[in-house]
């Protein structure tokens, strides 16, 4: 078994128009910038994107939005140092926003990956974000029912991968990446280093390869924060 | 009438006061912005363990300019450093820590706080791009949910109210409010005054508070160092 794919373009080539795509990262940390840029080059449109944020500057997710490839965004915090790409599209009515509390977003993704269609959480009880959702009381406290989130594809960023798709992450670049890997029909990971089989101690594997379908080698990955400080624009 | 702006505590002084209530070894989440200042004012000999929603426990101060590693940031997207004993985890685990009752204290900012503990801190209700982040999660689960805030708005309106008028972040969730004039607990649906700065009288404080201030014992002087 060898899940490595030769090029970024090959890795994203079958993402169709209208697909739901989870993109890992929190702000720039863990953002798979090269895979997002490959998706821009590929050109799929009318995408529903699931990410914590809405991009920053004119690279990565912000660039995907600027290229008008995103129809809907599901996120917790669509603001950043430079959120113009999303803000302009949102105010023009070109992009739909589903705002989800951050912990609920994470748990909906986890539930999607774990085969749990719905769960109850105290988060958002009594607020506008609970409008229209079923509630129930447990041990005397009210909870809101939330539903799983699943995707057709997940684009994630790993530090180390092997040909079976076992992954590790680097520091706080882990964030949403491991849970998104579990919740998509096809998970595509870019990895800074690809080790031979046996090259990752099983004790240290964070995402077991069963959750990963494709691995692309991206040595020296770009950092969104560094690109924005250099005022980079993609494409 | 006393000029409140002339006597009120600075944000740093409010953060200092909140820091005095954090025990050694406590697990603490500090909200983005003003609450982050609490970390600087821990009393000597105490070291809390700080949690950030994006998956780090026991992070430390910002690195020197030029030493940033953009894979090591906090929830405010600012570069941080690690303390010995730090750990990384993914978002589902991070919010299991939050909702599961594992944090000792969460400290947040506020637009408004109501006497029953309702908090409004995510939306001014004026339109624009809405953003909530982790605030609605953080107000549920921590053993104490404390708020740091100016006692009144920039235009002098009370921020401690009988009921919040802005969209809520959470219902009945706040346990203590550290303001620029006072320390107020929320107990049994009431504001209970614990401390006030000596330069303001009880009546003057009540006049800039939007609901009744109760007392159930002596009110201590809120004394804070120059910072």
Domain over A4-118+148-229 is classified CATH 3.40.1080.10: yes
Give the pLDDT score at B47: 95
pLDDT digits (tens, 9 = 90+) for B56-111: 999 999 999 999 999 999 999 999 999 999 999 999 999 999 999 999 999 999 99
Q: Name the fold adopted by B4-221.
A: Glutaconate Coenzyme A-transferase (3.40.1080)
Search chain B and give the residue with CA nearest A227.
B70
- Please answer yes or no on whether A103 and B89 come within 8 Å at the CB atom: no
CB contact, 8 Å: A177 with chain B? yes
Chain A residue numbers touching B129 (CB-CB < 8 A):
78-79, 83, 86-87, 90-91, 97
CB contact, 8 Å: A101 with chain B? yes
DSSP annotation string for A53-102: S---TBSHHHHHHHTT-EEEEEES----SS-HHHHHHHHTT-SEEEE--H
Q: What is the C-alpha to C-alpha distance for residues B74 and B54, in angstroms, rounded to an integer? A: 7
CB-based contacts of B194-203 (< 8 A; 24+ apart in sequence): B194/B219, B194/B220, B195/B219, B195/B220, B195/B221, B195/B222, B196/B221, B196/B222, B197/B7, B197/B8, B197/B9, B197/B221, B197/B222, B198/B222, B198/B223, B199/B2, B199/B7, B200/B2, B200/B4, B200/B7, B201/B2
Alpha-carbon torsion, ordered B76, B77, B82, B88, to 10 deg: 90
| Residue given tokens 């739901």 in the structure block | A20
pLDDT digits (tens, 9 = 90+) for B109-148: 999 999 999 999 999 988 889 999 999 999 998 999 999 9
- Min Cα distance A170 → chain B (Å) is 7
What's the complex ipTM? 0.97
Give the pLDDT score at A136: 98
Q: If contacts are CB pairs under 8 Å, which of residues 190-229 in chain A contact chain B?
A: 206, 223-226
Give the pLDDT score at B186: 98
Band of residue B3 on the pLDDT scale cut at 50, 70, 90: confident
Does B53 participate in catalysis according to the annotation?
Answer: yes
Peptide bond preceding B102 in cis form (omega within 30 of 0): no
Helix axes B91-99, A102-114, angle to 10 degrees: 120
Report whether pLDDT(B150) > 80. Answer: yes
- B187: CB partners within 8 A, 6+ apart: none
Nearest partner of B178 among B147, B152, B142, B212, judged by Cα:
B147
- Min Cα distance B2 → chain A (Å) is 37
Give the pLDDT score at B108: 97
Q: The dihedral of CA A53, A59, A60, A66: what is its sign?
A: positive
The answer to whether B227 touches B16, Cβ cutoff 8 Å, is yes
The overall average pLDDT reported for chain B is 96
What tokens appear for B29 in the block? 């989440």
Q: What is the C-alpha to C-alpha distance for residues A70 and A68, in angstroms, rounded to an integer? A: 6
* Facing residue for A101 by CB, picked from B52, B68, B132: B132
What tokens appear for B134 in the block? 């982790």
- Please answer yes or no on whether A169 and B92 come within 8 Å at the CB atom: no
- Min Cα distance A10 → chain B (Å) is 27
Range B191-216 average pLDDT:
97
The 3 state secondary structure assigned to chain B is CCCHHHHCCCHHHHHHHHHCCCCCCCEEEECCCHHHHHHHHCCCCCCCEEEECCCEEEEECCCCCCCCCCCCECCCCCECEEEEEEEECCHHHHHHHHHCCCCCEEEECCCEEECCCCEECCCCCCCCCCCCCCHHHHCCCCCEEEEEECCECCCCCECEECCCCCCCCECCCCCEEEECCEEEEEECCEEEEEEECCCCCHHHHHHCCECCEECCCCCEECCCCCC
Search chain B and give the residue with CA nearest A176.
B91
Give the pLDDT score at B2: 74
Q: Low-confidence residues of chain A, pLDDT below 70?
A: none
pLDDT digits (tens, 9 = 90+) for B8-26: 999 999 999 999 999 999 9
Domain locations along chain B: 4-221
| Annotated catalytic residue within B53, B163, B187, B204 | B53
Q: pTM higher than 0.90 for the full model?
A: yes
CB contact, 8 Å: B167 with chain A? yes
Give the pLDDT score at B1: 59
Domain locations along chain A: 4-118+148-229
| Residue given tokens 């595509």 in the structure block | A188
- B163: CB partners within 8 A, 6+ apart: B114, B118
Range B150-161 average pLDDT:
96
Give the pLDDT score at B127: 80
CB contact, 8 Å: B182 with chain A? no
């Amino acid at each position: 078994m060898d899940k490595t794919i030769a090029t970024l373009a090959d890795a994203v080539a079958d993402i169709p128009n209208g697909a739901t795509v989870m993109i890992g990262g929190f702000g720039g940390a863990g953002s798979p910038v090269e895979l997002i840029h490959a998706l821009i080059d590929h050109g799929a449109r009318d995408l529903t994107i699931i990410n914590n944020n809405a991009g920053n500057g004119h690279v990565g997710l912000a660039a995907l939005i600027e290229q008008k490839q995103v129809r809907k965004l599901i996120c917790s915090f669509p603001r950043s140092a430079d959120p113009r790409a999303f803000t302009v599209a949102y105010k023009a009515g070109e992009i739909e926003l589903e705002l989800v509390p951050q912990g609920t977003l994470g748990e909906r993704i986890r539930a999607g990956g774990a085969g749990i269609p719905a769960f109850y959480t105290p988060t958002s009880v009594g607020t506008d974000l609970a409008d229209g959702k079923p509630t129930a009381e447990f041990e005397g406290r009210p909870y809101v029912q939330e539903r799983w989130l699943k995707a057709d594809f997940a684009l994630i960023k790993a530090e180390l991968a092997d040909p079976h798709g076992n992954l590790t992450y680097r520091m706080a670049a882990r964030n949403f990446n491991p849970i998104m890997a579990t919740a998509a029909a096809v998970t595509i990971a870019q990895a800074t280093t690809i080790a031979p089989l046996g090259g990752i101690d099983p004790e240290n594997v964070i995402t077991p390869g069963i959750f990963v379908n494709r691995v692309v080698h991206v040595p020296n990955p770009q950092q969104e924060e560094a690109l924005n400080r250099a005022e980079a624009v993609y494409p | 009438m006393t000029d409140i702006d002339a006597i009120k505590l600075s944000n740093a002084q409010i953060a200092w006061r909140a820091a005095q209530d954090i025990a050694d070894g406590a697990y603490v989440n500090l909200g983005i912005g003003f609450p982050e200042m609490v970390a600087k004012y821990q009393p000597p000999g105490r070291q809390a363990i700080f949690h950030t929603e994006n998956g780090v426990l026991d992070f430390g101060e910002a690195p020197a300019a030029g030493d940033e590693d953009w894979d090591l940031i906090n929830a405010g997207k600012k570069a941080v450093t690690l303390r010995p004993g730090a750990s990384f985890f993914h978002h589902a685990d991070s919010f299991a820590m939050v909702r599961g009752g594992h944090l000792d204290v969460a400290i947040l900012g506020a637009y408004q706080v109501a006497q029953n503990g309702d908090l409004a801190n995510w939306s001014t209700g004026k339109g624009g791009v809405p953003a909530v982040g982790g605030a609605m999660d953080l107000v549920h689960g921590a053993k104490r949910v404390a708020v740091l805030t100016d006692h009144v708005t920039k235009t002098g309106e009370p921020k401690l109210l009988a009921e919040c008028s802005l969209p809520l972040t959470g219902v009945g969730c706040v346990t203590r409010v550290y303001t620029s004039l006072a320390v107020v607990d929320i107990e049994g649906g009431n504001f209970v005054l614990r401390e006030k700065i000596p330069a303001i009288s009880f009546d003057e404080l009540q006049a800039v508070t939007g609901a009744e201030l109760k007392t159930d014992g002596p009110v201590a002087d809120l004394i804070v160092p120059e910072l």
